[in-house]
Chains A and B, each alone.
Chain A
């Protein structure tokens, strides 16, 4: 079967750094994506890793280790507006995007 595991909830303080982990088991793998979704909103694309290593985009970074079937999203200098759900997603061998169950991030003042 196909599965992606990520923590259901993470809480952090404004200005801090938080890491959201994702482990996956899928039929084929073409890349790991991260999406952000605010309550009542639509998922929006944050980052994509096809190769091992760290990709940085402003305050957000994403890491992938294909040998460990593992990745993470790192959020730095947390702001209140970062409170949202974060989904990892794997593109499988049929190019479908398989989503994890999402991690709800709560940023406290």
Chain B
């Protein structure tokens, strides 16, 4: 009965590779997010989708491409991985784009070697 789930939990890969992270929520929420948390624990929004439509697209390299096949899923594909991409990536969801509470997934720990 996990609310927001992400796969994989850990991802270790070489520089230059392409990888994807998947996120699913079973809360019936309309809005989903991707956040990046760096080694200093700074948490920054990357993208947000509302009912499969992109509504927030922060200044993120275009090597990062989100995809929302339906409102319960939001995936993140990263091309040509760089050392600086090493971080924890959190997916989150909320009932609407203006809801006060966001529910976070367990995170995907990405290490680029």
Contacts and interface: CB of A to CB of B under 8 A. Distances in A.
Interface of A: 30-31, 33, 37, 41-45, 48, 50, 85, 87, 91, 94-99, 101-102
B90 interface: yes
A97 B102 contact: yes
Given A33-B100, A33-B101, A102-B41, 8 more contacts: A37-B41, A43-B90, A48-B101, A85-B41, A95-B56, A95-B97, A97-B45, A99-B42
Contacts of A44: 104
A99 B101 contact: no
Contacts of B42: 99, 101-102
B103 A94 contact: no
18 contacts: A33-B100, A33-B101, A42-B104, A42-B107, A43-B90, A43-B104, A45-B101, A45-B103, A87-B43, A94-B56, A95-B97, A96-B45, A96-B58, A97-B102, A98-B45, A101-B42, A102-B42, A102-B43
A51 to B, nearest CB: 12
Interface residues of B, number: 20
Which of A37, A48, A50, A98 has the largest count of B CB atoms less than 10 A from its CB?
A37
User: At the interface, is chain B mostly helix, strand, loop or mixed?
Assistant: loop
Interface string B16-45: 000000000000000000000000111111
Contact of A48 (B45, B100, B105): B100
Contacts of A42: 90, 104-107
Given A42-B106, A43-B90, A44-B104, A101 B41 contact: yes
Nearest to B43: A99
B45 A45 contact: no
A62 B41 CA distance: 22
Contacts of A91: 98, 100
Q: Which 6 pairs between the two chains have the least Cβ-Cβ distance? A: A42-B104, A48-B100, A99-B43, A45-B101, A43-B104, A102-B41
Given A42-B104, A43-B90, A45-B103, A95 B41 contact: no
Tell me which of A44, A50, A99 has the highest count of chain B C-beta atoms within 10 A of its own C-beta.
A99
